[in-house]
């Protein structure tokens, strides 16, 4: 699957950022080759809201499954990005997070002797970026 996107919304309020995330998620799904037997990097965005907010900043590695060959990287979306109405700014930030997550994942894949196709992942992110 190579790259998948997820989200945790911090509240019920409608955000332009949520729409941007949905669009990006669909574009990644449409652009990737699900027939290849690749490990999967799951980038999960944590959006702050009226109910909960991330208790961290930036990116962090989270759940790893050797058996399923999946790694989750969580990305805290800053409040100013989450509440922005500028879709281009939001999209740019989310795509920068995906690229940073690919780089952050290198040590984890290497530690577990799993070959992750970094070049393909970066190329996929670039295709989605346009």
Kindly report, residue by residue over 60-119, the tens digit of the pLDDT. Answer: 999 999 999 999 999 999 999 999 999 999 999 999 999 999 999 999 999 999 999 999
Helix pair angle (87-111, 118-129), 10° resolution? 170
Helix (H) or strand (E) holding 63: strand 59-65
- Both ends of the chain: CA-CA distance in Å? 20
With beta carbons less than 8 A apart as the criterion, state whether 76 and 56 touch: yes
Distance CA 16, CA 39 (A): 31
Number of H helices, E strands in the chain: 4, 4
pLDDT in the model for residue 33: 76
Kindly report, residue by residue over 37-69, the tens digit of the pLDDT. Answer: 889 999 999 999 999 999 999 999 999 999 999
What the block records as the tokens of 44 is 């999960």
């Amino acid at each position: 699957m190579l790259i998948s996107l997820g989200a945790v919304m911090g509240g019920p309020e409608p955000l332009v950022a949520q729409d941007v995330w949905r669009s990006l998620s669909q574009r990644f799904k449409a652009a990737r080759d699900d027939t290849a037997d690749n490990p999967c990097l799951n980038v999960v965005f944590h959006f702050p809201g009226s109910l909960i907010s991330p208790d961290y900043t930036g990116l962090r590695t989270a759940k790893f499954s050797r058996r399923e060959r999946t790694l989750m990287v969580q990305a805290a979306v800053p409040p100013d990005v989450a509440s922005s109405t500028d879709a281009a700014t939001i999209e740019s930030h989310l795509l920068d997070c995906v690229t940073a997550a690919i780089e952050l994942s290198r040590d984890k894949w290497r530690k577990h002797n799993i070959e992750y196709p970094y070049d393909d992942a970066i190329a996929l992110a670039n295709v989605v970026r346009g």
